[in-house]
Chains A and B, each alone.
Chain A
Amino acid sequence: MTAATAVNAARAARRGLRRVPAWRLAALGLAGVTAVPLLVVFAAWLTPETEIWRHLARTVLGGLVNNTLALIAGVGAGVLVLGVGLAWLTARCEFPGRRFFDWALMLPLAVPAYVLAFVVLGLLDFSGPVQTGLRGMLGQDLRLPEVRSAGGVIAVMTLAFYPYVYMLTRAAFLGLGRGTLEAARLLGLGPWATFFRVALPTARPAIVAGLALALMETLADFGTVAVFNFDTFTTAIYKAWFGLFNLQAAAQLATFLLLFVALALYAERRLRGGARYHEGGRGAPAPRVRLRGGRATLAVTAAALVFGLAFVVPMVQLLIWAVDAMGDLDRRYLNLLWHTLGLGGSAALVTVSAALVLAHARRVDGDPLTRGAAGLATLGYALPGSVLAVGVMLAFTALDNGLNTLSRLVTGEAHGPLLAGSLAGLLLAYLVRFMAVAYGPVGSALERLRPSLPEAARCLGAGPLEVLRRIHLPLLRPGLLTAALLVAVEVMKEMPATLLLRPFGWDTLAVRIYELTSEGLWERAALPAVTLVLAGLLPVVLLVRRSAGN
């Protein structure tokens, strides 16, 4: 053995030793951090609340489960049809107004579901202008179907959550190379068959990622169902907590949501089996299919209807209300805006970095432990915000109390809380809550990256960090940006964790909306709501501009 080969062998051995544990450790560490609040929630089972469970089982549980399943089925079907359908239209077809709808259909992402909910109810309930107008024309005895029903909630959530599916799927469709589609056509597939047999399977990781986000959002939602007074599993959690003052029982109920989501995610992975989907080479993008006549009209109508209902109508209504409340607009609004944007930006940075580490570790090191860690770290999204926030808060105060005891021993004086009620606590809550939002796009971008690329780089002697910096980051930039902007929008809309964990004085626009709506002052909540939507448009517009470059 020559000296050179010995050195090389030693280097390779060292690399081999270092590589695996480093990523695995990082992933496990991150999963640990995100798992702590979840474990706190699970720990509630240490004191089972049998009496409350018996009461719930006897009275309301059946209805709650039915309602929740109806929501999942309805919203799931709704976001798939709207999201995938519209993504195909704007990514692969050409019709009048296509360039406009391309980005316009993403804008509803900036409208929080709870805001859409109170606008819809304000407009469509019995005493709202629409029904009042209809009664004026058609007679006072007119009775329309109840808006505050499963159908109403499903419609609102579908309009609020379809953009997750739309955005991610659209990016996947745009990424379809000319080669792939041409090969399909050459092999004799018609346009429909190409869509179902080539495009859909290729886009499946993205579609599933979007669907998972929409459904976890549905399960965790409290704002929309509270506005509609529609009872779901989440409302039961809040009732156990706020009505029966039993946080233990609330947390126990919440663990079922987590188990359900974990099972669903696991099932998806199993169903997908060993299938892997990689981009079929960059190449030129495939040409769009030009729609004409009736089909073009249909496409425009569908896109315009969704855009109108999910964005234009609520914005117009909010603006009308906001005009009456302009007196509220004072210097404080700048502060609220700044806090909102600042929190969104910093949470995006923290969360996406963590998601990248996690997704990368899962890819280079596919052992069950790392995979499990990644799965665990993305569960927080399905937990209702307040429950998660309490988990974070309990973990942090326990740490704080420990530190205080220590400091009292050393200096004879306590220093008060350091973590709970600090920005760090809030950012951790966002990390846990929105890891799934970042992990989806980052993970699916990684999955579509051909393994041969980094492998080639490794063969050429690049270290893992170099591969990350020179191969992964540039190729992943679109996915990373998507993730960051999604997280930023989510954080700006987030309400319960912000309420509980914000440092003194760190009010955001969502906090202001909460304050006003909890007093029933919906019209006055329109001003912060419009501001929040406009602030949320910033990242959405960035997203649009980024994807326009595709």
Chain B
Amino acid sequence: MDLSLFLQQLLNGISLGSLYALIAIGYTMVYGIIRLINFAHGDILMISTYFAYFGISVYALPWWLSVIMAILLTALFGILIDLGAYRPVRHAPRISALITAIGVSFLLENLGIVVFGGRPRAFYRPDFLNKTYEMLGVHIFSLSIWVPVVTALLLALVFLLLYRTRVGAAMRAVAKDMEMVQLMGIDVNRVISLTFAVGSALAAAGGIMWAMKYPQINPLMGIIPGLKAFVAAVIGGIGNIHGAVLGGLLLGITEILLVAFLPSLAGYRDAFAFILLILILLFKPTGLAGKDTIG
């Protein structure tokens, strides 16, 4: 393997890994604040791509407007899911909320099949993202640059929200001690609704980037990105936001390099990700970046 080939594979890995990271940020943030592994995260991502798809292809809105609308609608959708499914089990044992999340996930997938149909649809990609540049024999696809940039930008925004705003302070307080916060007269349900809105908006951003890069959407498309983002979040330390980004990049790069160096194992790349998950849980359950949860 010569240098340009290795660089190309590394770039492929960074581009895939930053997508995982982008999706994992929302996953881990919701967990960090309310200790709920939202298994429907991947399916919320799927719903968001359909919002964008309908905006662009059905209502013929400009591309950027559709994306903004999709992100806002998905945030609203996240709030509704919290209202309908999670709020009733807020004070039940944590396992109940987890099972509810799995139920929501199946509900969204099958709702997607009924409402949108099972056949994949082509997702529109604007022209400025379609360019390919060449440097040192490496083909750089413009989206591969955009995805890490968007990921970094959203990561910064999440940190700003958590550490520089009053709402963020309330979120961190809820993460620390929900009952105490309630006694202080803060409306915990509102804070959690907002958490879901932000988490879902992040899922939407990740989903739309994902659909741009792999331009076909279908009702079951959220499963693998969701699971991979979950693995990434656990690798980085669940609840730890910059850990999730680290985990996502690590997972993406190792996946691509595995396929590059051992092409005969390429069919088993998903299995590899889950083996990694098991190993992390066995030997370092708090993840690589440790238990630096929100707070």
Are A and B part of the same complex?
A: no
Residues on A facing B (Cβ under 8 Å): none
